[in-house]
Structure 1
Amino acid sequence: MSRAIRILIAVASVIALLIVVFLAYAHTVMQGERPEALEAWRDDAVEITSTETGIVIEPVEGATGEGLVFIPGAKVDPYAYLYKLSGVAEASGFTVVITKPTLNLAFFDQRPLSTFTALAPGVDDWYVGGHSLGGVRACQLAADGASGASDEPVVGLVLFGSYCADDLAESGPAVLSVAGSNDGLSTPEKVAGAAHLLPADAEFVELEGVNHADFGDYGVQPGDGVSTRDDAEVRREIAAAVAAFIG
């Protein structure tokens, strides 16, 4: 066997190993297995439907014809957001679609927004939102919607423990940013530092004692601050912030 062939085999083996390691990394997610994450399935005020591309949460009564496509944080199980977002559906009348990102990483999911809005054909006006890096991806979708590059108009952006990298200051939709005072990842300082990228009338809500993982229900996250809040209270405060924003 020639030296060149041995080198090609070695390179191919390294590439194959890197692919296997990356796939293992991407598929190791922070699971939504806490009791709070399962409670939404027993909530009579909402109807939950799971598909290959997303999870749809519909209010049983009081639907407004508005919807929220919500993108999970990196490597967080989409089901981890059921409890908090079922509260949003109840309080606001939103139909919520939680996406199931490609490889559990929002930036690898380049499917058009219509992939997810199609799951709720009865909705007329769409907001986009997300948690952590999912919120950064939501900012991209909002920017596309503002520029006409999106296949679906976007009327608003909702960020949970997140902030934008895209500049939406001049042409962006209405924005709500909900942050936690004890967030160790999307810290209040980072949220404030990126505020100039949002429209001047963007609304900012900081929840006292809330950490990064409080926006979902998936347990402790490395690098996060310590939460001092009851989960049910956090759910109510998030839902109230969103309801006030769209009201």
Structure 2
Amino acid sequence: MLIVAIVGIVIYSQVGVMAAEPEPLAAVKADPAISITDDYAAIVLSPVEGATGDGLVFIPGAKVDPWAYAAKLSGIVESGTTVVITKPWLNLAFFDLRPLDAFTSLAPDVDTWAVGGHSLGGVRACQLTQDAEALILFASYCANDLSTSGMPALSLAGELDGLSTPAKIADARPLLPADADMVEIAGAAHSSFGDYGLQPGDGTPTISDADMTETLTSEIDHFFQTQVAVG
């Protein structure tokens, strides 16, 4: 029975993985302002110039190609933040037990690290905050209690998200510090946080990819400058 269960999990983890859309990914790979290192553990996006010393370890959502997040996070890289997009075991963050330093070690020049993630990746990110200076949730929420941690936290939600709905995020709000920044992005759905197509059960986004990238960049840059630096 155990062998059957393991085989079943492996098969489930490999079937239906949502691939990165080719055009946004090609644009990131051609961006002269971004240096890309494809490591076995993660994808490292580094600013070619003007690095701020800030970094984000980003954990993908369940069964989403890690490359699918490169374009949406490219704006903060161009602003000077190093981004490490993890490659979760079995494409599921829940099964990835590696500590945060397995990823931060890939960018040794970064001084200040935030950890974050999309959907299930954000749930896992909440569990790794003891080794980070800040938390950023992308259409996600915590399952563990960080309300007394004093950690700078930013929650980015989508108005039209049919999976991590605004109601679910509101219900989990007490698990975050009282001064956490809660941002709901107008017109955004669950899939708006990456470039991998639409998902069953999700809302239909009305925000463009360009506007979504601009909004994410603005909110995260502001968070690093005003909350993380102060914290």
Q: TM-score range by the shorter chain?
A: over 0.9
Q: Secondary structure at the match of 2:211?
A: helix
Question: When the two structures are superposed, what TM-score results if normalisation uses the length of structure 1?
Answer: 0.87
Q: Secondary structure at the match of 2:127?
A: helix
What is the rounded CA distance, in whole Å, between the counterparts of 2:220 and 2:12 in structure 1? 33
Matched, 1:225 2:203: yes
Matched, 1:50 2:28: no
Aligned to 1:148: none
Which among 101, 106, 125 is matched to residue 119 of structure 1?
A: 106
- How far apart are 1:34 and its partner, in Å? 3.8
* Structure 1 letter corresponding to 2:133: V
- Give the alignment of 1:27-46 within 5 angstroms: 27-28=14-15, 29-46=17-34
- Contact 1:65-1:124 within 8 A present in 2 as well: yes
Identity of counterpart residues, as a percentage?
Answer: 56
Aligned to 1:235: 213
- How far apart are 1:170 and its partner, in Å? 0.6
- Contact 1:175-1:198 within 8 A present in 2 as well: yes
Aligned to 2:145: 167
Q: Which runs of 5+ in 2 are unaligned?
A: 226-231
Aligned to 1:110: 97
Question: When the two structures are superposed, what TM-score results if normalisation uses the length of structure 2?
Answer: 0.93
What is the rounded CA distance, in whole Å, between the counterparts of 2:136 and 2:41 in structure 1? 20
Q: Computing the radius of gyration over CA atoms, which structure comes out larger, 1 or 2?
A: 1
What is the rounded CA distance, in whole Å, between the counterparts of 2:26 and 2:11 in structure 1? 26
* Structure 1 letter corresponding to 2:52: T
What is the rounded CA distance, in whole Å, between the counterparts of 2:164 and 2:26 in structure 1? 26
- Contact 1:172-1:198 within 8 A present in 2 as well: no
Q: Deviations over 1:180-230 (max 9, x none)?
A: 100000111111111111111100111111000110011111110001111
Aligned to 1:202: 180
Matched, 1:60 2:48: yes
- Give the alignment of 1:130-209 within 5 angstroms: 130-142=117-129, 145=130, 153-209=131-187
Q: Secondary structure at the match of 1:214?
A: helix
CA RMSD, Structure 1 to Structure 2 (Å): 1.2
